[in-house]
Amino acid sequence: MIEMNNEKNTQISNNKIATNNAERLSHKIIIDGMLVSAISTETIQVINPSNARLIGHVPRCRSKDVDRAVRSSQKAFSHWKKIPARERGKIMMRAANRLEKRRKELETLLSLDTGNAIRTQAIPETASAIELFYMFAGLAGELKGENFPPNMEHVLHYTTRDPIGIVGAIIPWNAPLFLMVAKIAPAIVAGNTVVLKTAEQAPLCVLLFADILQEELPAGVLNVISGYGKEAGEPIVVHPEVRKITFTGSYEVGKEIMAKAAPKLCPVTLELGGKNPNIILSDADLEIAIPGIIDGMRYTRQGQACTAGSRIYIHEKIYDKIIEGVVKKLSELRMGDALDEESDIGAIISEEQLNRTLHYMELAKKSPSVKVLHGGHRPADPKLRDGFFYEPTLMEGIPIESPVCQEEIFGPVACAFSFNDFDSMMQSANDTPFGLSATLWTENLYRALQFVEEIEAGFVQVNQCVAPRANVSYGGLKMSGLGKEYALDSMINHFTQSKTILINRGKLAHNRSC
Ligand code: NAI
Ligand code: MG
């Protein structure tokens, strides 16, 4: 009883910290280093996914607010780019220290905003986001060009790495703090300034993160606006002063952004979707493969991850054992209010995304061969009735051509397939337009290396299935995206431009001595 009360109390105190911040940040954007009202007077409601209640409003910005943010970033760029890189890094280090001190506020608002469970998701995501911020701050000294041996007589030949200018960053809601840092930190440390648009479903935690950064960053280095994609995102993409776009989200939008940025030859980085294979060979260590299927599917983030291993290929010899193990573990996961530290699984971000899962489940259930092995419903618990909850779901018997196995559901739904031939399994694993991540479980080195060679994916793991993190270069192949993030190469390749310089020292004049 006492324990239950303690649980309730932490949930209440977490809730209080989060709602105070939600109230303070409501109706605000960040321009010139300050929380201000937008020019647009329209707003978007922000909903707590755990109970569908309103937690605040954010401005529904349109092009006038975008123009204002770009002007601010433009002004800031002229002096931010001139600050020596390691000085910029030190400013960012100080900002990261402030984030660290206010970690609890970030974790609780992240959880309230997204419906992602605080213990399993919001706490580790906040830690990874701050860690990534520190990492890029520390990489400031790595901004450097190359020096070439003379290939022309008397000529000094070198290249520079310079900031590009104003970067437009557009992020989604599924891991908003980590994804925000993946864009703003390498851009800012490289001397660019940023206009960031938050996702309409989870804007407040990002605003809090950016608000804390303002205590150290010069005004205008990071401007933050909110709004819908077409109304606030597109004006950033097409703005003539924005010289680089970095985006994470759906393939459909990524493709549109690339087309819209093309006329001004603006480089784009795209992190898009996936339909990723998680493959278990007959000799796999089941002690790690079974939890690896659950972690890989990101069930404790309601499957809302681009890396979710939603196509699970299991060798027929161990199929039943694996399924039994996974189903047992799924049934032990506790679903509940995201701010309750006892919850393993929280709620899906929005009614729209819940409906997306319901749509795919309806399709799946129409298939006569389908068998739902776990989940397949909204939870019966009346306490979860108002929130956007859906049980962690595992199915078998769905034809691989079904949209359920081909399209990104971005919900807690995975399909299992039994196989007995490595080559045809690999063919099926690669038979998707996406190529984001892939995992294999085996103790057979030959097969592991064959898999690494043949799999069409940008992020490949063997005998583990960890989430992307700082210093691990990450990005997709095929229709999963363009470019890599989270490591040094992302700062150098995506947020700098280069000049090639040839300086001819000429001949020593005869009338000069020494
Ligand atoms: P989305 O791709 O529509 O939105 C992501 C971001 O792009 C948001 O900030 C949105 O406002 C903005 N946006 C939308 N249309 C835009 C446009 N025309 N120009 C500029 N910005 C625009 O993703 P949404 O609607 O939230 O989710 C739909 C599906 O997308 C999900 O079910 C999932 O399959 C996929 N997705 C993939 C993500 C990933 O991490 N790769 C993240 C979020 C969604
Ligand atoms: Mg959308």
Residue 4, pLDDT score: 58
Residue 475, pLDDT score: 97
State which of 170, 200, 201 you would mutate to test the pocket of ligand 1, scoring each by most atoms of that ligand within 8 A of its C-beta.
170
Do residues 251 and 281 share a domain? Answer: no
Q: Is the CB of 168 under 6 A from ligand 1?
A: no
Tell me the CA–centroid distance for residue 353 and ligand 1, in Å. 11
Cα–Cα distance, 449 to 109 (Å, whole number): 43
Do residues 237 and 173 share a domain? Answer: yes
Q: Determine if the pTM surpasses 0.85.
A: yes
If the chain, 514 residues long, is cut into consecutive pieces of 10 residues, what is the mean pLDDT of each piece? Answer: 66 94 98 98 98 98 98 98 98 98 98 98 98 98 94 94 98 98 98 99 98 98 99 98 98 98 98 97 98 98 98 98 98 98 98 98 96 98 97 97 97 98 98 98 98 98 96 97 97 97 88 68
3-state secondary structure of 401: coil
The answer to the question of residue 513 being in a domain is no
Do residues 311 and 416 share a domain? Answer: yes
Do residues 265 and 343 share a domain? Answer: no
Q: Is the CB of 426 under 6 A from ligand 1?
A: no
Say whether 287 is catalytic.
no
Residue 508, pLDDT score: 80
Nearest residue to 232 (alpha-carbon basis) of 211, 190, 203: 203
Residue 510, pLDDT score: 74
> How many structural domains comprise the chain?
2
Do residues 160 and 202 share a domain? Answer: yes
The answer to the question of residue 410 being in a domain is yes
Residue 97, pLDDT score: 98
The answer to the question of residue 509 being in a domain is no
Do residues 267 and 306 share a domain? Answer: no
Task: Note down the domain range covering 188.
Answer: 2-272+480-499
Say whether 105 is catalytic.
no
Cα–Cα distance, 402 to 363 (Å, whole number): 8
Cα–Cα distance, 116 to 482 (Å, whole number): 27
Cα–Cα distance, 293 to 314 (Å, whole number): 10
Domain CATH code at residue 162: 3.40.605.10
What's the CA angle centered on 344, arms 408 and 286, to 5 degrees?
75
Secondary structure letter of residue 225 according to DSSP: E
Residue 471, pLDDT score: 97
| Number of the ligand closest to the Cα of 273 | 1
Which ligand 1 atom is nearest residue 254's CA?
A: 2
The answer to the question of residue 233 being in a domain is yes
The answer to the question of residue 101 being in a domain is yes
Tell me the CA–centroid distance for residue 492 and ligand 2, in Å. 30
| Residue reference for tokens 């790495």 | 161
